[in-house]
Amino acid sequence: MDDIELLRELIGSAKRIVAFTGAGISTESGIPDFRSPGGIWTRYKPIYFDDFMASDEMRRESWRRKFATDETMLTAEPNAGHRALAKLVSLNRDPTDQDDDADVVVHAEIGPTMSRAIGVN
């Protein structure tokens, strides 16, 4: 059994699936990650929470950065990784259902909005 088949089997038999991703999942969509060459932290020094709370200037700088990246974020399109995660969310099946919906790894299609996704920073 190859890795893809093993993953299909694991997903198909799982009661719950949790996917952990990082900022890198969106680089294919043109959204830079944080640590790679050309990433956010190569262009901007991080603003730490304590500094953000203590300084009007740091809060203004945070907003300036947000507006500077808005165009990139607003025009980005979902990529294969996003579509695969959306497909996993759409499966939402009874754990006893043994259908072939676990082919998400090969045939990812855009699914519902990621309303059940949890972002953790």
Phi first, then psi: give them for residue 71, nearest 5 degrees.
Answer: -60, -45
Same domain? For 83 and 48 the reply is no
Domain boundary among 40, 60, 75: 75
Owning domain of residue 106: 1-29+78-121
Query: pLDDT digits over 85-101, tens only?
Result: 888 777 764 333 333 33
Q: Which of 1-10, 39-48, 101-110 has the lowest mean pLDDT?
A: 101-110
Residue 101: what pLDDT? 36
Same domain? For 37 and 96 the reply is no
- For 106, the token pair is 């090969």
Same domain? For 85 and 118 the reply is yes
Same domain? For 98 and 86 the reply is yes
Same domain? For 88 and 110 the reply is yes
Please state, in angstroms and as integers, the Cα–Cα distance from residue 24 to each residue in 5, 14, 29, 112, following that order. 25, 25, 10, 21
Q: Report residue 10 CA to chain centroid gap.
A: 21
Q: pTM of this prediction?
A: 0.60
Same domain? For 91 and 114 the reply is yes
Same domain? For 11 and 23 the reply is yes
3-state secondary structure of 73: helix
The pLDDT mean for the chain works out to 76
How would you class 31 by CB atoms within 10 Å of its CB: exposed for 0-12, middle for 13-18, buried for 19 or more? middle
Same domain? For 86 and 121 the reply is yes
Whether the CB-CB separation of 115 and 13 falls below 8 Å is answered with no
Residue 107: what pLDDT? 32
Question: Structural domain tally of the chain?
Answer: 2
